[in-house]
Amino acid sequence: MKAFITTVSAAALLLLATGGASHGQPAADPPCSGQVHPNPGFERGTTGWTAGPRIVVFGDATRAAHTGHAYATFAGLDVTRADLLRTTVTVPANCDLTVRFWVRTTTTETSRGDYLNVGLAVTGIPPKTRFSLAFDGGAPWRQYVMSSGTATTERTATVSFLASETAGNGATTFDVDDTSFTLS
């Protein structure tokens, strides 16, 4: 009888050991991969973004999105005003964040007046304007790319689109679509 119990106990220990081994295997994607924003193409409105009251996210059959139905537009109304659209993501330690976005520029300006400043603020680094787009950006959708670099600690990265326009010199509209926030 004692020998039987010992055999059962040995089998139970073997099961525990097997379970422990499988538990140690990775169950999720590696931390430095994939697109990490929940709403990169604005198909879910302003979810995941902080948007000023005059940022319009919509679908317009006569002005198609880059992909999907929606995009963010900083409307050229030829009035003096500013709009801010921004979002923050977490950048794990030892990861590089690459931010890509597409912009379409429609204008009646002939010199720089209205502009769209695109900024990237990363923990530990002074906020910086990476792109200052203006009337000459072009009507076709055009892609821009910027990245955070790596660090040994977890950081946050805030991307901001700040549009500013002035009255009286024509109007420029900036449409933004298909942002992506990819870790590598």
Binding positions for Ca ion, rule: CB under 5 A: 41-42, 65, 68, 70-71, 177
Residue 105 CB, nearest approach to Ca ion (Å) = 17
| 163: nearest Cα among 110, 111, 103, 99 | 103
CB of 72 to Ca ion, least distance (A): 9
Q: Which is nearer to Ca ion, 42 or 135 (CB)?
A: 42
Candidates 180, 145, 163; CA nearest to 66 is 180
Nearest to 178 by CA among 155, 132, 138, 144: 144
CA angle 11, 20, 1 (to 5 degrees): 15
The sheet carrying 56-58 orders its strands as 56-58, 71-74, 172-183, 97-107, 142-147
Nearest-approach distance from CB 59 to Ca ion, in angstroms = 8
The residue among 115 and 141 lying less far from Ca ion, judged by its C-beta, is 141
| b/e sequence 151-162, b meaning 16+ C-beta within 10 Å | beeebebebbbb
Residue whose token pair is 């906020």? 127
Query: How is residue 110 written in tokens?
Result: 């002939």
Residues 177, 74: contact at Cβ < 8 Å? no
Nearer to Ca ion, 71 or 115 (CB): 71
Provide, rounded to whole angstroms, the least separation between the CB of residue 44 and Ca ion.
10
Name the residue nearer to Ca ion (CB basis): 109 or 177. Answer: 177
Find the shortest distance in angstroms from Cβ 141 to Ca ion. 11
Closer residue to Ca ion, CB minimum distance, 41 or 119: 41
